[in-house]
Structure 1
Amino acid sequence: MKKVGFLGLGIMGKAMATNLIKAGFEVTVWNRNAKKTTELVVLGATQGSTPKEVAASCDITFAMVSDPAAALVICQGPDGVAAGIGEGRGYIDMSTVDDSTSQTIADTITKAGGRFLEAPVSGTKKPAEDGTLIILAAGDQSLYEEALPAFNVMGKMSPFLGEVGQGASMKLVVNMMMGGMLSIFSEGMSLGQKAGLDGEQILDVIAAGAIANPMFAGKGAMLLAEDYTTSFPLKHMQKDMRLAVALGDKLNLSLPSAATANEAFKQAKKAGFSDEDIAAVYKTVN
């Protein structure tokens, strides 16, 4: 498998597609805003005109778009992936969506004769650029096995999690925890500095203890520098928190901490920080 398609060239998709091109895959790219394909075409990619055309011309087509609505749009309709997938070709949606959206896409693709795999990723801009994402795959196992060479270029770990929906659920669990951690971290950093503590010393103490982790180190440096350059847009984290809370509702599971963190991200969106990095949630409590 060397001929692949890639739909969606945002912060994550562009980096992932670039790594596939550099690894020697024959890549056809498409983006709703066609200007975003230019840089990849210069690197050697072919520009596709519609998701349908890309899916019809490639062995496996990958997608990385912003939310469930966008994921459905590029799959369905006369110019969608399902219209071009044909018998036996594969479609791998790497977007973060809820399990029911993923199942709808799976049903649409399989009815059209194709094979489907959901494969949302854990990681932000830097891991996408470095090819060190964690890829959470579920669905058609034969497609998973065929896609492993591409997964190995884009990520450092790609477990197979079983039936469609399991990859989506794993991603929501991971991002729910991340959002909750970042929310309380922001409150702690704000509280400490309001109490007269030095921000760098707070980070040093955290780094030496049991709650040390790469996110606190990286995002802590960002908020002290007041640099919210986007690697993971805040609006997407709020979407993931919302989907996680909704999954809890569906399973009759109370998630009070996640629901509270979701409100913090909603407040940050309302304050105008949607397109800034997730670290900008700090600005709502600072």
Structure 2
Amino acid sequence: MKKFGFIGLGIMGNAMALNLVKAGLDVTVWNRNVDKCTELVALGAHQGKTPREVAETCDITFTIVSDPAAALAISEGPDGVVAGIGEGRSYIDMSTVDDATSQTISAAIIKAGGRFLEAPVSGTKKPAEDGTLIILAAGDKSLYDDALPAFEIMGKMSPYLGEVGQGAKMKLVVNMIMGGMLSIFSEGISLGLKANLDGKQLLDIIDAGAMANPMFKVKGPMLLDENYTTSFPLKHMQKDMRLAVDLGDKLNLTLPTAAITNESFKQARKAGFSDEDIAAIYKTVK
């Protein structure tokens, strides 16, 4: 029976690891805040002392952390994943990072004798809990094949996208579009309410037409209720918008709407909404 590691038990990681444990897999967990391991250990998971120990004792180790700096910190150093990886062991980073960060981690893992796959996920807290994430995998194809049973527990779709970097790019494009949609949606709802339109009717009309989509269906009532319960922290969306704009710069592609949306999310962070849900972008325009 394969042994799986899971590093990073935030909003997404906790739900994803929980699904692996509930499916009966042998899972060892680690988190910087050890209290977040308690629930999983009570359900049968093992607790690792360091990322290195998790990588040393597991066949495949998953990680999902907040940003490129955190992803590099988990992999590097004497207690990092790279120090624990060796022949026959593998590492799958599910964090949303830029392609250069993925390639840096990949090179270090391969040099240490392991296999590497990037696999950022599209989805927020509820899909993570339901096991319906979209997993954007790229890198070692043999590792992708070996990890597919675990991916099928955590997600509903796990396309293989080719070489390392392609998964990171796909995730940034997807999140860039999502951020832009949420920004204009917030402005539209704000305009409608200022014009004395009925908010519920406005949402019903949007939902009945070509613009209907699951995000508007979930976020619309949140905006009307001013309920910003976090399923995707706003600060992470701003990070993704920034990385997408940076990718456009590298490719000499002008992304004016994405750049403006990034500034809107930066404004929301400056206003103190970083840890609230991405829906809190609404507070900057209402």
| TM superposition score category, shorter chain reference | over 0.9
Whole-Å Cα distance in 2 between the matches of residues 33 and 210 of structure 1? 44
TM-score normalised per structure 2: 0.99
Whole-Å Cα distance in 2 between the matches of residues 88 and 180 of structure 1? 42
Secondary structure, aligned partner of 2:91: strand
Whole-Å Cα distance in 2 between the matches of residues 270 and 191 of structure 1? 23
In structure 2, the partner of 1:201 is: 201
Does residue 267 (structure 1) correspond to residue 270 (structure 2)? The answer is no
Does residue 147 (structure 1) correspond to residue 141 (structure 2)? The answer is no
Whole-Å Cα distance in 2 between the matches of residues 212 and 17 of structure 1? 32
Secondary structure, aligned partner of 2:49: coil
Secondary structure, aligned partner of 2:230: coil
What letter corresponds to residue 154 of structure 1 in structure 2? Answer: M
Does residue 237 (structure 1) correspond to residue 220 (structure 2)? The answer is no
Secondary structure, aligned partner of 1:218: helix
RMSD: 0.6
Deviant stretches of 4+, over 4 Å: none
In structure 2, the partner of 1:99 is: 99
Report 1:73-222 matches (<5 A).
73-222=73-222
In structure 1, the partner of 2:15 is: 15
What letter corresponds to residue 33 of structure 1 in structure 2? Answer: N
Whole-Å Cα distance in 2 between the matches of residues 147 and 68 of structure 1? 23
Following superposition, the deviation at residue 88 of structure 1 comes to 2.2
Whole-Å Cα distance in 1 between the matches of residues 81 and 198 of structure 2? 53
What letter corresponds to residue 30 of structure 1 in structure 2? Answer: W
TM-score normalised per structure 1: 0.99
Following superposition, the deviation at residue 91 of structure 1 comes to 0.1
- Equivalent pairs, count: 286
Whole-Å Cα distance in 2 between the matches of residues 190 and 69 of structure 1? 35
In structure 2, the partner of 1:282 is: 282
Whole-Å Cα distance in 2 between the matches of residues 113 and 24 of structure 1? 28
Following superposition, the deviation at residue 82 of structure 1 comes to 0.5
What letter corresponds to residue 21 of structure 2 in structure 1? Answer: I
Whole-Å Cα distance in 2 between the matches of residues 217 and 126 of structure 1? 14
Task: Give CA deviations for 1:193-248 in whole Å, capped at 9, x if unaligned.
Answer: 10110111110110111111111111001011111000000000000000000000
Report 1:58-77 matches (<5 A).
58-77=58-77
Task: Give CA deviations for 1:110-165 in whole Å, capped at 9, x if unaligned.
Answer: 00000000000000000000000000000000000000000000000000000000
